[in-house]
Structures are given as C-alpha cells and as structure tokens.
Amino acid sequence: MKRIILLVFFFTAGIFAQENKILVSPELTKIVNETAEQTLKEFASKGLKPEKLAITLIDMRDPSRLSSGNFRGDQPIYPASIVKMFYLVATHQWLKDGKLKDTPELRRAMRDMIVDSSNDATHFIVDVLTDATGGSELTPEELQKWAYKREAVNRYFKSIGYENINVVQKTYCEDIYGRERQFWNEGRNRNMLTTNAVARLLSEIVLGKAVSPDASRQMMELLKRNPYKEEKDPNSQDTGFTGLALKNRPNSKLWSKAGLTSVSRHDAAYVETEDRLKFILVVFTEDVANERMIIPTIAEKIIQKLKNTDQFSSSPKTQN
C-alpha cells in the first residue's frame, strides 16, 4: 500500500511539474535582449548598468503553451514589495489547508498588503503565516527554532519547484530590531527573488492555478490597477510603473504589484491590450529608483516588438 501511495504521489507531482513548465522562446529571448540593450543605452547616463537590470517576459495568449524570454531572469535580487505577492499566495494556501481561519481582519490585511502595499499589513500576514513574531533577541538555540518557523513560506514554494528564492523577511519602512535583525544576519539573509520566479507566480495567478481558481480570482481582484486614473503620486502602482506605458493605449487592462525602495524600483505586471496582446512583464532595476521612465520605456518597447512579431518561437525548449 505504501508503495502505491508513493507512486501516486510522484506521478501527481510529475504532472504538476509538467503543467508548470514554461517554454523558452528564442524569439521572445531576442525581443527581451534587444529591449534590454536599447534601454541600457538610453539610460546609461542615469546610471543604469546591465548588472542592475533584470527582465522576464511571458506570452500569455496560449494558456496551454506559455512561452518566455528573459534578460538575467535567473539572478536573485532584493525584491522589495514584490515579495508580498508570495505572501498573498501563501495566505490563500494556508486558508485552503485549514492552517488559518478566514476572518475580516485577515482579509483587511491581505487587501492592504497588496492594494496599498502596506508594510504594517505585511508584518501581520508574515506573523500569522509563520507564528514567528518579532521581539527581543534570542539565544542561538532559540533563534534556530524560531528561524525554522519563519522559513515556512520558503519551504512551501521550494516544495512546488521554485528556485533561487528567499521569502522569509518582513518589509520595513525604517530599520529592523531584535530577533528579526538577528535572523536578517547583517543582510546575508535578505529576501531574494528572480524575475523568472515572479513571472511564474503571476502566470499561475492569472491562469487560476495558484492555490485554486477561486483563490486566484480573489488575488487578481487585489492586483487589478487602473492605468487611466488621475493620480498625483508618481509612484502609484496604477500609473507610476508599467501603467505609464498604457496611458495612451485605450482599453488596455493591467494587474500588477510594484516594489520601491531608495535603491530598488521593480514591477510585476500582467497586461492585456485591445489589439489582443496578453503578456506578463517583470522588471527589476537597482540603484536607479528615482528613474520613473525606465520600466514604462521597457514596457513600451516590448509592446511594439510583440505587435511586430507574428510567430514567437518555432523550436522552444522548457524550463521550470
């Protein structure tokens, strides 16, 4: 009986892994690399360098055969508030598994974490996901036990095939103290994500494969943006990132999560245009956080190149 159960487990796991394969398209890779090269030249005087940029693009027009291209898409980078998408998915998974009770307060925190990008709400979500709350410093033995609990979200995503990621820290407005700082380990244990991993997660949400179709639908509602709204905030998630490239494209739709610090300026976006383009674009930039036009410039170039491309790939290969 145990052997049968194990065989069923591995067979099911194999199907799951296969469903989450994304085809690497030479054509999309060329588009992304050309876009990166052009953008690096345009913003070189602003300090943008190749090692400070990462891009992943997924064509979403055929849900049964996703294709992608990337520029440094496998490089772990501090994700800023992009990590909140991973905590959102984990919260829905914990709810499905019965590890969390669905309450108005939990829903309020989920909403504020994504819609307003609240760090305080994120603190609450990480606490309830891991039961590893902040507080005074711990002995090495105590910290080891505490760290194991805090790494629960990491273990979940790694169990479903995510690589080169670290999603264990809260997001902060100022500084970090006590056991949280011990765990941070002088910056050696920071949150880290790749644009490939973020693009995969967003694709699963869009396709209804993140936790469940209903959970994915709820997440999409929180990620929905309005690129046409009147917004004075230059860092608005609606109009300050990828949305800026859609302002003059009527009837385009946007779902996204931005990340912004004094160093980082990132965006993870799913875009649908009126001319039937459907794509995910994840852009990470470092040390040019005040350059508002880099991400929309990349988005604009991607849109133009996709519109001029009839067929993305004739001989793709697969990646996780």
Could you tell me if residue 141 is inside a domain? yes
Pairing of strands 22-24, 67-71: parallel
Q: What average pLDDT does this structure show over 198-202?
A: 98
240 and 313: one domain? yes
Could you tell me if residue 208 is inside a domain? no
- Is the Cα torsion angle 274, 194, 115, 153 positive or negative in sign? positive
Q: Quick check: 2 pLDDT over 60? A: no
Closest C-alpha among 138, 73, 125, 74 to residue 99: 125
Q: Residue 5: pLDDT band by 50, 70, 90 thresholds? A: very low
Could you tell me if residue 199 is inside a domain? no
266 and 316: one domain? yes
189 and 283: one domain? no
End position of a domain, from candidates 146, 172, 193: 193
Q: Quick check: 197 pLDDT over 60? A: yes
Q: How many domains would you assign to the chain?
A: 2
At residue 231, the pLDDT reads 87
At residue 20, the pLDDT reads 59
What is the per-residue pLDDT across 269-279, written as a single tens digit (0 to 9) for each?
A: 999 999 899 99
Which has the higher per-residue pLDDT, 29 or 7?
29
At residue 309, the pLDDT reads 80
Q: Residue 7: pLDDT band by 50, 70, 90 thresholds? A: very low
Q: Quick check: 296 pLDDT over 70? A: yes
Q: Quick check: 315 pLDDT over 60? A: no
At residue 129, the pLDDT reads 98
What is the per-residue pLDDT across 13-32, written as a single tens digit (0 to 9) for each?
A: 333 344 558 999 999 999 99
Q: pLDDT above 90 covers what percent of the chain? A: 88
103 and 156: one domain? yes
At residue 9, the pLDDT reads 36
At residue 310, the pLDDT reads 60
Q: Quick check: 8 pLDDT over 60? A: no
Could you tell me if residue 309 is inside a domain? yes
32 and 111: one domain? no
61 and 82: one domain? no
Q: Residue 190: pLDDT band by 50, 70, 90 thresholds? A: very high
65 and 84: one domain? no
Q: Count the neighbouring beta carbons within 10 Å of the beta carbon of residue 174.
A: 6
147 and 240: one domain? no
What is the per-residue pLDDT across 133-180, written as a single tens digit (0 to 9) for each?
A: 999 999 999 999 999 999 999 999 999 999 999 999 999 998 999 999
Which has the higher per-residue pLDDT, 206 or 232?
206
145 and 38: one domain? no
Q: Quick check: 313 pLDDT over 60? A: no
Q: What average pLDDT does this structure show over 109-118?
A: 98
End position of a domain, from candidates 152, 175, 193: 193
In the chain, which residue ranges form alpha helices assigned H by DSSP? 2-19, 26-42, 83-97, 104-115, 119-130, 140-150, 152-159, 178-184, 195-206, 213-223, 294-307
CA distance linking residue 126 with residue 167, whole number of Å: 10
At residue 48, the pLDDT reads 98
177 and 232: one domain? no
What is the per-residue pLDDT across 62-111, written as a single tens digit (0 to 9) for each?
A: 999 999 999 999 999 999 999 999 999 999 999 999 999 999 999 999 99
- Averaged confidence pLDDT in the chain: 92
CATH number at residue 37: 3.30.450
Could you tell me if residue 301 is inside a domain? yes
229 and 319: one domain? yes
End position of a domain, from candidates 178, 193, 208: 193
3-state secondary structure 163-225: CCCECCCCCCCCCCCHHHHHHHCCCCCCCEECHHHHHHHHHHHHCCCCCCHHHHHHHHHHHEE
Domain of 43, in residue numbers: 23-72+223-320
Could you tell me if residue 276 is inside a domain? yes
Could you tell me if residue 105 is inside a domain? yes
Could you tell me if residue 303 is inside a domain? yes
55 and 86: one domain? no
